[in-house]
Amino acid sequence: MIDFSEIFPSFKDKTRVLICSDQTEVAKCVFHILEFYNKDFDYLLEDQSQKNSGEDFIFLESSSLEIAAQFKPNIVLMTSEISEDKVSEIAQNITGGGVLVYPEKFENLLDSLQNYFRKLPFQPSQAFPKNGILLLETEMGEIPLQTLNEDLMTDIKGIQLLSQQFGIMEEDFYDPILSFK
């Protein structure tokens, strides 16, 4: 487990982004999109790998309540497999004025929170296999994907909303998704 008491001083002044997910593929997909557009960032992953080169943004991948509380995120992407009992606890640790991207199914759980942050709900995306590839249904039509991870595709709208926080708008979002494996 990451010991934040030792490393927090090195990223306390950065924008802290929590990818709250049990799926490691979510962080990989986010990083792929950001790297596609040459966005610089640092990260801490639950497998203990990290990059801390002084960038303005630091990403943490975790579904641990304790880690989320210590990280004090500014921006959170919560994926659909997170259990309901964790939703409020994680959201309570978002810094004031932050952003929470979350599955719409958690809307009622977030209504009673007292801290102020921007809420960006998303609906599950629809993806289906066809002729050995996965097709993602979008407003622009069906997009063929190289990944066959249907669980990841459920949260792709959330990943898109998170990407918008880094200036990657919807029309640009699908280009890197086409090459994600």
Domain architecture of the chain: domains with CATH: 4-179 (3.40.1190.10)
**Are 22 and 62 contacting, i.e. CB atoms less than 8 angstroms apart?**
no
Question: Rounded distance, CA 149 to CA 12, Å?
Answer: 34
pLDDT at 118: 93
Give me the percent of the chain exceeding a pLDDT of 90. Answer: 43
Question: Would you put residue 105 in left (φ > 0), alpha (ψ -120 to 50) or beta?
Answer: alpha
pLDDT at 46: 76
pLDDT at 148: 67
Average pLDDT over residues 70-75: 89
**Are 75 and 162 contacting, i.e. CB atoms less than 8 angstroms apart?**
yes
129 or 57: whose pLDDT is higher?
57
pLDDT at 155: 93
The per-residue pLDDT for range 87-120, each reduced to its tens digit, is 888 888 898 899 999 999 999 888 877 778 899 9
**Are 18 and 68 contacting, i.e. CB atoms less than 8 angstroms apart?**
yes
Which SS3 state, helix, strand or coil, does residue 181 take? coil
pLDDT at 58: 93
**Are 100 and 117 contacting, i.e. CB atoms less than 8 angstroms apart?**
yes
Number of CB atoms found within 10 A of residue 103's CB: 20
pLDDT at 35: 96
pLDDT at 3: 64
Question: Rounded distance, CA 130 to CA 143, Å?
Answer: 11
The per-residue pLDDT for range 7-53, each reduced to its tens digit, is 667 788 899 999 999 888 999 999 999 999 999 999 988 777 888 88
Question: Rounded distance, CA 58 to CA 114, Å?
Answer: 26
**Are 102 and 78 contacting, i.e. CB atoms less than 8 angstroms apart?**
yes
Question: Would you put residue 72 in left (φ > 0), alpha (ψ -120 to 50) or beta?
Answer: left
pLDDT at 178: 85
Question: Rounded distance, CA 78 to CA 86, Å?
Answer: 10
